[in-house]
Amino acid sequence: MKDVVIIGAGIIGCFLAYDLSKYDLKIAVVEKNMDVASGATKANSAIVHSGHDPKDGTLKALLNVRGSRMYEQICKDLNCHYEKIGAYVLACGAEEEDTLLQLAKQAENRNIPFEVHTHQEIVSREQNISDEVTKGLWLPSTAIITPWEVSCVLMDNAIERGTELHLNTEVTSIEKMNHGYRIVTSKGEMMSKVVINCAGVHADEVTAMVNPHPGFTITARRGEYFVLDHLKDPVVSIILFPVPSSKGKGVLLVPTIHHNLLLGPTSDPIDEKENVDSTKEGLAEVREKMHKLIKNVPMNQVVRTFSGNRPSGSTHDFVLEEDDLNPGFLICGAIESPGIASAPAISEYMIEHFVSKRLQLLNKNNLPALVLRQRLLSEMSDTERNDKISKDSRYGKIVCRCEQISEGEIVEAIHRNTPVLTLGAVKRRLRPGMGRCQGGFCEPLVLKILARELKLSLNEIVLEEAGSNVLLEKR
């Protein structure tokens, strides 16, 4: 019997596993994909929003502000990347300026640092701002992270403290029992006193396994993006938002931790929750709308397009609750923007308001030292790199030319606590395949390393999920 089973290993599930693993509990995380952070967590704008935007009185407003203030210390503790680069919300014309001032008032009421700037003041900071922009709301506390990086390190620590992680394991049914729940999965079943549903776009369906009338529904909203290469002369150095609309925050420009530039996303409701295809129409929309905010974008430097689906709920707010009919069945649903920014606060909220009322939370004695993010050779001094290579020559063999990643680093990542089972998982840990050639040179080498370290044949290695085999036959 487990004390807690968490369904879904996105960033919310990983934060819950990390936070709950501090207590004397038996915890399991069940994830239908072959890696953590494989849904909305891996395909988003990677912004820690300041908290100025959500409507007053919502969980989004409460937890965005709290989560935003938690991240810097969490990332420092775990050696994860965090950069407070600031953001502008940009207005074009009098009507949008009125909305901008309303957002400024919300920021003031929530003690979020802000300034309202004129067009001239904005251009003095960012020279490529569009001539259409008339005013901007400057939010210096807005930050960027790498969400899958944070998720992986959180899970590394949860596993170090005894949490079980079951990847490639889909929940097929849940049954309420006298003293908990029976969770049936594609790989067997388990019992648990408490279930926490963090199933992303499928959270409504998982809730329906125990309550045929969940009280909320989730629509997948597809967001499409362009990714630009590392630019010698960056187009923009801070995050740019348009004034938000009913569809969301709009098409943004976001510098990333690794000095790419994201353009997007769109926000289109789709019927197939797992459909993450990019479309000609969606990408054309991004191109059109970005020009409202910025000029001189070198679209000849695009290295990739992608899309991700976010779970948009019918309640227009996060669904964080205990199911009315099923004590101990807890729901983290409809976690759309600002879900990344709110994630640590969502975990804190769920534990304080619900888990603590169902389970006795006793601190573990002698917690192991924190597992930190893997430090890369590029972050080391020459002396440190030379020492690493002298001890293991594989650190001196560069596999990814674009991102300068060595064989030794890939092997090290594969053997960390959180299993690395796919080419995509290696890519998210270390970035081989994210550079200009998009894996054209390094992917065959990574494939061989992964097969060797996992003791599998080349034909068994997949790109992301079961069935996405890279090689179909040996020739």
- The confidence score (pLDDT) of residue 237 equals 96
pLDDT band at residue 357 using 50, 70 and 90 as cut-offs: very high
pLDDT digits (tens, 9 = 90+) for 310-330: 999 999 999 999 999 999 999
Strands 2-7 and 188-197: parallel
pLDDT, mean of residues 167-193: 97
pLDDT digits (tens, 9 = 90+) for 366-392: 999 999 999 999 999 999 999 999 999
Q: How many CA atoms lie within 13 A of 463 on its CB side?
A: 9
Helices (H), 142-212: 147-160, 203-207
Amino acid at position 169, single letter: T
CA 469 from centre of chain:
25
pLDDT, mean of residues 29-33: 98
Specify whether 49 is catalytic: yes
Show the domains of the chain with their CATH numbers. 1-82+144-217+314-373 (3.50.50.60), 87-140+219-309 (3.30.9.10), 377-460 (1.10.10)
CA–CA gap between residue 152 and residue 417 (Å, rounded):
9
Is 264's pLDDT higher than 80?
yes
Contact 106, 79 (CB under 8 A): no
Greater confidence (250 vs 84) lies with 84
- The confidence score (pLDDT) of residue 245 equals 73
- Residue that has been written with the tokens 């006793």 in this structure: 362
CA–CA gap between residue 367 and residue 111 (Å, rounded):
35
What residues have CB less than 8 Å from 41, skipping those under 6 apart? 10, 11, 147, 148, 151, 340
What residues have CB less than 8 Å from 208, skipping those under 6 apart? 214
Question: Of 49, 52, 117, 202, which residue is the catalytic one?
Answer: 49
Q: What percent of the chain has pLDDT over 70?
A: 99
pLDDT band at residue 248 using 50, 70 and 90 as cut-offs: low
- The confidence score (pLDDT) of residue 142 equals 98
Amino acid at position 32, single letter: K
pLDDT band at residue 269 using 50, 70 and 90 as cut-offs: very high
Nearest to 129 by CA among 230, 241, 44: 241
Q: How many CA atoms lie within 13 A of 225 on its CB side?
A: 25
CA–CA gap between residue 285 and residue 409 (Å, rounded):
39
Contact 313, 201 (CB under 8 A): no
Strands 398-400 and 164-166: unpaired
Residue 238 structure tokens: 């801070």
Helix axes 147-160, 11-20, angle to 10 degrees: 30
Q: What percent of the chain has pLDDT over 90?
A: 97
CA–CA gap between residue 222 and residue 27 (Å, rounded):
32
pLDDT digits (tens, 9 = 90+) for 207-243: 999 999 999 999 999 999 999 999 989 999 999 999 9
CA–CA gap between residue 75 and residue 64 (Å, rounded):
17
The sign one gets for the Cα dihedral 90, 96, 101, 102 is negative
CA–CA gap between residue 397 and residue 409 (Å, rounded):
10
CA–CA gap between residue 375 and residue 255 (Å, rounded):
22
pLDDT, mean of residues 11-32: 98
- The confidence score (pLDDT) of residue 246 equals 65
CA distance readout (Å), 267 to 67, 200, 393 = 24, 16, 47
